[in-house]
Amino acid sequence: MYCYQCQETAAGKGCTLKGVCGKTEDVANLQDLLIYLMKGLSKLNIRLREKGEEMPYVNKFITDALFMTITNANFDRQRFIKKIEEAFLIREKIKNKLMERGVKDFALDCNCLTWKAATVAEMEEKAKEVGILSTQDEDIRSLRELLTYGIKGLAAYAEHAANLNFEDAEIYAFMQEGLVATKNDALSVGDLIDLVLKCGSMGVKVMALLDKANTSTYGNPELTKVNIGVRNNPAILISGHDLRDLQDLLQETAGTGVDVYTHSEMLPAHYYPFFKKYSHFAGNYGNAWWKQTEEFETFNGPILFTTNCLVPPRPNAGYADRVYTTGSAGFSGFPHIEDRKNGLPKDFSKIIEHAKKCKPPTEIEKGEIVGGFAHNQVFALADKVVEAVKSGAIRKFFVMAGCDGRMKNREYYTQFAERLPNDTVILTAGCAKYRYNKLPLGDIGGIPRVLDAGQCNDSYSLVVIALKLKEIFGLNDVNDLPIAYNIGWYEQKAVIVLLALLSLGVKNIHLGTTLPAFLSPNVAKVLVENFGIAGIGTVDEDLKLFLG
């Protein structure tokens, strides 16, 4: 195996024996093979699209396959074998459709269009040939992987929107065109950079689509205090990102005596008006994803993973028999809740019955978290914000969005937040907020000093806020705003957020705790020279740099 798609990759270079995430060599290789086959499916599907025919289930299949390979999403070997077998069948269906339309020449110029395995052993052997290192040129490889990881981020957000019946054919088309481009040896470094930036513009588009899907379905997020204590009822803990799964679960647990708590990136669900009508929607339990191995023990009830971020449990973990997965998530031995059929809700009856037999959660903290500062809520405070900036009460905004992770050096973000002057405000989204969202940082004239917009995809809200402030202050360039970008990244959804910011012309973004291992020195140089991308230093150095 060779994998370097996440920030915690081994030695900052690449995982070669086992993923730091817990991914085993065989699963890593099967993921590489699945992506390889998606490139072939995409090429055929583009040809069919050119003939005027769209196959929605093919778009869904490719999107699902991409999402399954995101860091910490799926560790289930059998699920990947099944997905690969399905890919062979779908490939033949597309070919048959093309033949019906008179196409006989499939331009079978890539083995990904023709190769097929008769056994799992053949899959595993082929997988060793098609991974990251199959591209020899370091810079081409770097850009191909950057594009691929951006497309994986697109897939995640497109799937969440599609689960709420919001789709955009242009996004699916680009994802497939981008995958095919990674097999095109005729493309230069310049061509690939252009595609990476186009991927960023598609990132803006998909996050806007998901924002519309979420707010149309559940209302605009609003200022909300979320309980972090517990009640005395049996409960289910829901993790991941998919709000439609939460909707189904809340509807099915209503009146059963079972409470529902959010975990990690599901916390922002509390900000939506729709979910507040459920009296058994009890609060948020725990912290960022990486602390689950200790916090799940004390929750006592079953845990439902709707997407990433799943951490393989330690041997003999006391909670391992209480974890369920659904959607893109998976782990060998964990019961998996099947997808919706015919638009009906998922069937969560098994996990609900399990919960009824469990003790209530053990309290690990008390208090409240304040959030709900997506663009609509911030616009409602616009007059106060503008006045605070004009009066000097707010000197600067710090966008500290993105991901959290296990590495000790991520304490940097807590220390940075603690030491920011009292005339600064943090704009955040994603699980990065768990590094500072429980600190007593106070407010500025009633404006909290930590404004949490929501999940990682809600980084879109931070862009909308920045563009609105640019308009209000009559500036020509978003980079002239008193906003600094000090972003933590971990996985591929953070990659698409970064590319989205670059496509909008945002410059001088600081990215930590380390720059991506998949950026070759030459590609990193291009990002530094054209966009001012930089890493982080010490807290003291960076405060001096940002504040002068």
Spatial separation of the C-alpha atoms in residues 156 and 443, rounded to whole Å? 34
Percent residues over pLDDT 90 in the chain = 97
Spatial separation of the C-alpha atoms in residues 305 and 166, rounded to whole Å? 22
Q: Residue 531: phi, psi to the nearest 5?
A: -130, -5
pLDDT at 210: 98
- Tell me whether strands 368-371 and 224-227 are parallel, antiparallel or unpaired: antiparallel
pLDDT at 467: 94
Percent helix, percent strand, percent coil in the chain, to nearest 5: 50, 10, 40
pLDDT at 107: 67
Q: What average pLDDT does this structure show over 182-209?
A: 97
The CATH number given to 224-356 is: 3.40.50.2030
Residue type, 166: F
Helix (H) or strand (E) holding 512: strand 509-512
pLDDT tens for each residue of 33-48: 999 999 999 999 999 9
Spatial separation of the C-alpha atoms in residues 520 and 235, rounded to whole Å? 47
Spatial separation of the C-alpha atoms in residues 238 and 81, rounded to whole Å? 27
* Helix extents (H) in 392-458: 411-419
The secondary structure of 176-220 as a DSSP string is HHHHHHTT-TT--HHHHHHHHHHHHHHHHHHHHHHHHHHHHHH--
Counted residue by residue, the chain has a size of 548
**In the predicted model, is pLDDT for residue 182 greater than 70?**
yes
Domain ranges of the chain: 10-217, 224-356, 373-547
Fold agreement (10-217, 224-356) = no
Spatial separation of the C-alpha atoms in residues 336 and 441, rounded to whole Å? 41
Q: What average pLDDT does this structure show over 296-301?
A: 98
Spatial separation of the C-alpha atoms in residues 389 and 380, rounded to whole Å? 16
Q: What average pLDDT does this structure show over 215-235?
A: 98
pLDDT tens for each residue of 140-157: 999 999 999 999 999 999
Q: Residue 283: phi, psi to the nearest 5?
A: 155, -160
pLDDT tens for each residue of 42-95: 999 999 999 999 999 999 999 999 999 999 999 999 999 999 999 999 999 999
Helix (H) or strand (E) holding 262: strand 259-262
Q: What average pLDDT does this structure show over 501-527?
A: 96
pLDDT at 47: 94
**In the predicted model, is pLDDT for residue 280 greater than 80?**
yes
Q: Which residue has the tokens 């199959």?
A: 134
Confidence of residue 343 (pLDDT cuts 50, 70, 90): confident
Closest CA to 79 of 67, 68, 71, 90: 68
**In the predicted model, is pLDDT for residue 352 greater than 70?**
yes
Query: CA 421, 422, 428, 434: dihedral to nearest 10 degrees?
Result: 90
Structure tokens, 402: 């993105």
**In the predicted model, is pLDDT for residue 303 greater than 70?**
yes
Q: State the architecture of 10-217 in CATH terms.
A: Up-down Bundle (1.20)
Q: What average pLDDT does this structure show over 504-509?
A: 96
Identify whether the C-beta of residue 151 lies closer than 8 Å to the C-beta of residue 67. Answer: no
Closest CA to 534 of 474, 494, 485: 485
pLDDT at 408: 95
Fold of 373-547: Rossmann fold (3.40.50)
Average pLDDT, the chain: 96
**In the predicted model, is pLDDT for residue 105 greater than 90?**
no
